[in-house]
Chains A and B, each alone.
Chain A
């Protein structure tokens, strides 16, 4: 009898914990930096009195979770992370359509992004793709500082370039898609094949080349420029440039989860994230160096200047679609990654 009572007691306790689980008035999956998530949520709670439950997860994890939870969504808002997975979620009908009244305050690229998603997501920041390099390592090896994509093909950079693998990283997929848009598909793949000779490692995570560059584990890393700036401000011997030929970018996005339990509050939060006040707070206020989407939001002085780079007109509708993505990734796998070195 006694072990059975024990088991019954345990199960009862466990069930009790399940029952006692309280519902917040708004649940957010946050895919920007943890600190930003926390500061943002606290400011929103103070301003509106709405109780927010927030959990921070990377973009890929959030997408996987939204998909798994599709039949019984737990979240109301998905805040942050590159636009492509948001668009893919929109394509799979995981997100709600919403035209925010704040949209008119945004830069053109952010409005275009919302339009391409059929109003299922909106841009909150822009992060340009760039080259980062460790000045100490390049100095020791007598390598020139790269300025353009073409510079990286120099055989002197053999085993000095690090990029992430587009199969696992959204950053690398942005690069692949940008190259195709910038050079045309045939030439882009030709470029990537030649670059393959200089790549020391295709990392899993998009942010890994940034850290490797800062620590000197690689001479050159290709990643989002604002992440490189974070390392520079932290004191690492790193410089970052926007390649002279032009470059692509990610549009950090915010979306409403379809079937969320608190649609009213979710819309309020959505509008708030697009406001100048919120974007100044979680951008410049926290020393994050991207470009905010609200025209009125303050940009950090160290942030990469949009005026100093040539941005391509990134076609997120085409390159964010599953079909095109799968095709490009398969091609990259077959033609670039499996090449002998």
Chain B
């Protein structure tokens, strides 16, 4: 038994015998009272069901101390961990706040039965130790080539995904099969599932509207293709042309990601609405009648293209950069024209990036809530339908769950299509061999096409942001353009009092809570996400596909459903964390992790395994290999996931609207409240403050993580594939 396992055993004993098991009470309250440790509560009879935990810990201690064979010790350790974890789950779910949680238990053992509160420090530490003992034991038995780092990582990530993704999702999906009275029935499900408002195809034959499922699918496909094409255009311009205003372009591609929802929609209305600025000009100059065309598919499509193109760019920039110039040079040496080279070498090598970019655009569009809410008009999509099924006048949670299942189905289909398309081909271009190639300039028609796609889009973004900036500084956008600082003062006034500074503005509370939560969530997201990506690309283990699917699951489910499912799952023991910052952090981590995973996978699939193998051959263990070899090559992905999760934690609405509490209110829910109350000025002013904060954070992440250094030469056409801070900031 190695040192690590022994340390975990010791920690496990501390968690079980010393620290308070439940949430109530202080850190070291009276050990045999209500705030006692697991062992204390078990011995004193207050919680007899905690006593059986002695068995796994004793087994593990036996393995550590007794003179046994290596294999026997490993088996004992595995047995201890498995038995402990199983009992942990059983007792946690069987005994709730008000006694037995299932009717049959109450019937069997008599109601109301024993009670217990949520898990505390002790329980958490003990559970973690059991998990670690299990993975150490499995490694010792030869799993994953006996690599304890790999088994432990798999164990932790699987446990986290099980607790924070599968568990809440299952609890809400169960409600899809509940009828109005609460009893389980598949009739309730079938009836809701086959509703004409979901699957109707009336729009093909008449003026009536099509079903909401078709609307969503159609929109998501358009957005997926649109964002991928635009993102590719930007990535090509940024890496392979001598375009002069790259800096400006990069800023423009960053802005939409760091813009709180509702704001883009609001700006579009102020521009193109019936009373919008552009509409007014068109009426004046060309006599075009003012219309409401922006409300519906066109408006939502424009807003989503604005909002999600940067994500595609973010995925593609790393991929385009990573393509080995040697292959392209070889092609040109063989007399291929630049267009042929682009079509037959560069583009196919970008396939993982293109597929991932499309998938993200598709899924983001499906889950987007703010833009359809503001601009949807009579064009309904699943995400808003789900939100209003939960909070609307009908209050039909079952319907929300049914709609979520449909949404999930679409996402999974996209996921499998992508998998089928990429197949088992190899996209490795970053290898251990020296690669001193020079990327060729873009073929002329590709360059022009890129400019034609990207520049008008950039100009458009610029106009939208001018509106947003102006909106914060005038009395009432669209009506009264008197300049004022009033909105900023309401939100962010600071007064000096004899006791020091007093943050009198109404926005400070939510602002500081948001910063805290985002700062916590970002590094955890990046760490868990990239570790997952590493496991998925570099390790082979049973259930890998299911595991990958699990990581995508929380992303595919719309925020509203995630929010409600988190309350249902985590408001009661064993894991009772509603009303705290923890639930917000966890929600963000598992909602945003898929982006970290995707960008990690995209980057890792370009890095040749021979690099890891070289490191392993030279005697480094997996952990050292990850830290010294893979992590430095992953820097673009690290920055991407840090930035993405930080930004999303500051801009997400639908998932957290149910999770915010009095103490931890978030900026976005505050802004939504302002929009609801019609205070657009304050909403826009607050949003612009958030934008500035996020820009600063992005630069900070960039500085801390640093650049990936690939052994490549710079050229005139590519002034700085290595040192281009801006691109990386964008990613």
Contacts and interface: CB of A to CB of B under 8 A. Distances in A.
A340 B121 contact: no
A88 B392 CA distance: 13
Nearest to A68: B567
Nearest to B157: A7
B132 A333 contact: no
Contacts of A48: none
B360 interface: no
Contact of B152 (A4, A166, A325, A326): A4
Interface string B482-517: 000000000000000000000000100000000000
A60 B397 CA distance: 12
A340 B377 contact: no
Given A19-B121, A72-B571, A217 B269 contact: yes
A167 B195 CA distance: 15
A340 B120 contact: no
B244 interface: no
Given A1-B7, A201-B378, A55 B393 contact: no
Contacts of A169: 392-393
Given A21-B579, A21-B580, A168 B392 contact: yes
A215 interface: yes
B700 interface: no
A236 B576 CA distance: 47
Interface in B559-613: 564, 567-568, 571-572, 576-582, 585-586
Interface stretch (A10-18, A181-189, A247-255): A10-18
A341 interface: yes
Interface string A48-88: 00000111111011011101110110100000000011001
Interface stretch (B310-318, B456-464, B542-550, B670-678): B670-678
Contacts of B124: 11-12, 15
A262 interface: no
Contact of A204 (B121, B274, B373, B661): B373
Given A7-B156, A27-B662, A68-B658, A211 B388 contact: no
A315 B384 CA distance: 30
A8 B128 contact: yes
Contact of A340 (B11, B208, B390, B623): B208
Contacts of B273: 215, 217
Interface stretch (A98-106, A111-119, A227-235, A296-304): A227-235
A307 interface: no
Given A15-B582, A69-B567, A64 B395 contact: yes
B309 to A, nearest CB: 26
A3 B23 contact: no
Interface string B195-209: 001000000001110
Given A18-B582, A65-B567, A340-B206, A71 B572 contact: yes
A204 B571 contact: no
A77 B453 CA distance: 54
A216 B571 contact: no
Nearest to B117: A72
A216 B270 CA distance: 11
Given A204-B388, A205-B676, A235-B480, A19 B23 contact: yes
B393 A168 contact: yes
B288 interface: no
B665 A55 contact: yes
Given A65-B567, A68-B658, A340-B208, A234 B476 contact: yes
A128 interface: no
B529 to A, nearest CB: 14
A38 interface: yes
B657 interface: yes
B478 A53 contact: no
Interface centre among B128, B576, B579 (most CB of A within 10 A): B579
Contact of A14 (B98, B393, B585): B585
A71 B678 contact: no
Given A11-B128, A71-B571, A214 B393 contact: no
Contacts of A235: 476, 479-480
A34 interface: yes
Interface in B637-695: 657-658, 660-663, 665, 670, 673-674, 676-678
A34 B507 CA distance: 11
B-side interface size class: 35 or more
Range of interface residues on chain A? Answer: 35 or more
Contacts, number: 187
B412 interface: no
B147 to A, nearest CB: 13
A167 B392 contact: yes
B677 A33 contact: yes
B580 A60 contact: no
A71 B571 CA distance: 8
A218 to B, nearest CB: 8
Interface in B282-307: 292, 295
B599 to A, nearest CB: 20
A19 B274 contact: no
Contacts of A146: none
A2 B581 CA distance: 26
Nearest to B379: A201
B378 A24 contact: no
Contacts of B377: 201
A35 to B, nearest CB: 8
A316 B27 CA distance: 50
B394 interface: yes
B149 interface: yes
Given A24-B662, A74-B579, A201 B295 contact: yes
Given A55-B662, A205-B676, A72 B572 contact: yes
A71 B378 contact: no
A60 B391 contact: yes
B275 interface: yes
A341 B207 CA distance: 8
A283 interface: no
A216 B676 CA distance: 17
Interface in B108-157: 120-121, 124-125, 128, 132, 149, 152-153, 156
A202 B658 CA distance: 25
A34 B662 CA distance: 12
Nearest to B207: A340
Contact of B149 (A3, A200, A216): A3
A167 to B, nearest CB: 5
B120 A1 contact: no
Contacts of B376: 204
Nearest to B119: A15
A173 interface: yes
Contact of A19 (B120, B132, B392): B120
A329 B392 CA distance: 12
A167 B378 contact: no
B207 A325 contact: no
Interface in B39-97: 96-97
B4 interface: yes
Nearest to A140: B290
Contacts of B4: 1, 4
Contacts of B7: 1
A322 to B, nearest CB: 8
Contact of A215 (B275, B567, B674): B275
10 contacts: A4-B152, A17-B580, A64-B395, A84-B393, A168-B393, A169-B392, A205-B676, A211-B678, A216-B275, A340-B208
Given A18-B580, A63-B391, A88-B395, 12 more contacts: A34-B506, A34-B670, A34-B677, A58-B391, A60-B388, A71-B96, A204-B373, A215-B269, A231-B678, A235-B479, A236-B479, A340-B206
Interface of B: 3-4, 7-8, 11, 23, 27, 96-98, 120-121, 124-125, 128, 132, 149, 152-153, 156, 197, 206-208, 269, 273-275, 292, 295, 373, 376-378, 384, 388, 390-395, 397, 476, 478-480, 506, 520, 524, 564, 567-568, 571-572, 576-582, 585-586, 623, 657-658, 660-663, 665, 670, 673-674, 676-678
3 closest A-B pairs by beta carbon, nearest first, are A60-B391, A53-B662, A168-B388
